[in-house]
């Protein structure tokens, strides 16, 4: 399945992007296919809409922004006021970051992006589910930072470094900072390999930009017709088809084709419990 996605993406043109043997090998590593924000100059700043409702989530968001900005990559982020609410309605040119009690739906974290032309990210959202983060198992700073760090970075175009539960000491792995590891700060931040990967992903320039530059532009893009039909709702069926799942069932990727030719890709970070119930099941349906 993963190979099918990469082949499809590879077939689409992207100005200045050279598919060498090296970049293909890196793709197989942990870029999220070739998804990236289009921009005409580097470095660039991606606005993260802050829709967090608690002090601790705001702190974790600010921490991960500092961490991701410290790597010397072309992708910089800045936190701006969010208008997305708990539903985390996407705003074109930005990533909206949200927390809330999204219910006993099995997922801890959810990241969605909209893609045009097979590669270019136009908008993203990252949600953290307090229905689980409010429980003793998940309510600790390390687990929360791990998940927000990962979900936000999916909207940069990064995938996972591993999904088997081992730690590569990056938030892009599936180490669980719970139970006996609740006090561990392993895997709560990006590592040098993540920064290397971002340098590869953003090593070229595009002829157009999908990144909102100024607040007025964010507002115009967010409420203009371009945003319509390119969002996902709170209904898991709006994620589209399950296209990939890790063997342990903790990580799933869904895709949806939209009427305007764009695609939504959703990455789901399932709870330990949802994954363990039936690792091979589509967890939307196995409760």
Output the smallest distance, CB 63 to Zn ion, in A: 18
Output the smallest distance, CB 175 to Zn ion, in A: 12
Token pair in block for residue 185: 């700060």
- Residue 255's contacts (CB-CB under 8 Å, 6 or more residues apart) are 5, 240, 241, 243, 263, 264, 265, 266
DSSP track, 188-228: SS--HHHHHHHHHHTSS--SS--S--SHHHHHHHHHSGGGT
SS3 257: strand
What x/- string results for residues 98 through 137 when contact with Zn ion is judged by CB under 5 A? Answer: ----------------------------------------
- Residue 179's contacts (CB-CB under 8 Å, 6 or more residues apart) are 137
In angstroms, the Cα distances linking 196 to 6, 33, 72, 114 are 20, 16, 9, 24
How far is it, in rounded angstroms, from Cα 286 to Cα 278? Answer: 8
Output the smallest distance, CB 105 to Zn ion, in A: 16
Output the smallest distance, CB 269 to Zn ion, in A: 5
Among 5, 9, 14, 108, binds Zn ion (CB under 5 A): 14
Output the smallest distance, CB 117 to Zn ion, in A: 9
Token pair in block for residue 261: 């030719």
Q: Which stretch binds Zn ion (CB under 5 A): 41-49, 84-92, 143-151, 223-231?
A: 143-151
Q: Which is nearer to Zn ion, 150 or 197 (CB)?
A: 150
How far is it, in rounded angstroms, from Cα 19 to Cα 121? Answer: 19
Residue facing Zn ion at closest CB distance:
206
Token pair in block for residue 104: 């006993």
Output the smallest distance, CB 206 to Zn ion, in A: 4
How far is it, in rounded angstroms, from Cα 16 to Cα 150? Answer: 28
What x/- string results for residues 206 through 225 when contact with Zn ion is judged by CB under 5 A? Answer: x-------------------
Site for Zn ion contains 143 (CB under 5 A): no
Q: Which is nearer to Zn ion, 250 or 256 (CB)?
A: 250
Q: Which stretch binds Zn ion (CB under 5 A): 3-11, 73-81, 198-206, 255-263?
A: 198-206
Give the CB-side neighbour count of residue 258, counting CA atoms within 13 A.
21
Q: Which stretch binds Zn ion (CB under 5 A): 11-19, 24-32, 43-51, 272-280?
A: 11-19
Q: Which is nearer to Zn ion, 194 or 206 (CB)?
A: 206
Q: Which is nearer to Zn ion, 90 or 158 (CB)?
A: 158
φ, ψ of residue 133 in degrees (nearest 5): -70, -10
What x/- string results for residues 146 through 185 when contact with Zn ion is judged by CB under 5 A? Answer: ----x-----------------------------------
Output the smallest distance, CB 69 to Zn ion, in A: 20
Q: Which is nearer to Zn ion, 102 or 269 (CB)?
A: 269
How far is it, in rounded angstroms, from Cα 158 to Cα 34? Answer: 9
- Give the torsion sign (CA, 195, 243, 254, 56): negative
Binding site for Zn ion (CB under 5 A): 14, 150, 206, 267, 269
């Amino acid at each position: 399945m993963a190979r099918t996605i990469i082949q499809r993406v590879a077939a689409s043109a992207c100005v200045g992007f050279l598919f060498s043997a090296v970049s293909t090998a890196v793709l197989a590593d942990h870029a999220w296919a070739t998804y990236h924000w289009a921009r005409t100059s580097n470095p660039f700043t991606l606005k993260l809409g802050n829709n967090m409702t608690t002090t601790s989530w705001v702190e974790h968001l600010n921490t991960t922004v500092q961490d991701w900005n410290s790597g010397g990559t072309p992708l910089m982020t800045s936190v701006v006021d969010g208008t997305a609410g708990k539903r985390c309605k996407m705003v074109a040119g930005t990533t909206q970051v949200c927390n809330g009690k999204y219910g006993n739906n099995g997922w801890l974290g959810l990241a969605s992006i909209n893609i045009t032309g097979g590669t270019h990210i136009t908008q993203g959202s990252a949600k953290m589910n307090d229905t689980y983060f409010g429980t003793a198992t998940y309510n600790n700073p390390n687990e929360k930072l791990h998940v927000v760090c990962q979900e936000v970075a999916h909207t940069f175009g990064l995938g996972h470094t591993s999904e088997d539960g081992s730690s590569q000491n990056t938030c892009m792995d599936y180490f669980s900072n719970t139970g006996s590891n609740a006090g561990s700060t392993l895997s709560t931040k990006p590592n040098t390999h993540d920064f290397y990967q971002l340098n590869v992903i953003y090593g070229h320039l595009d002829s157009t930009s999908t990144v909102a530059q100024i607040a007025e532009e964010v507002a115009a893009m967010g409420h203009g017709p371009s945003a319509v039909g390119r969002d996902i709702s709170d209904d898991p069926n709006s994620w589209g088809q399950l296209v990939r799942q890790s063997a342990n069932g903790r990580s799933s990727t869904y895709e949806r084709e939209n009427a305007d030719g764009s695609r939504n890709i959703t990455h789901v970070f399932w709870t330990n419990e949802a994954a363990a119930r039936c690792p091979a099941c589509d967890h939307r349906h196995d409760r």
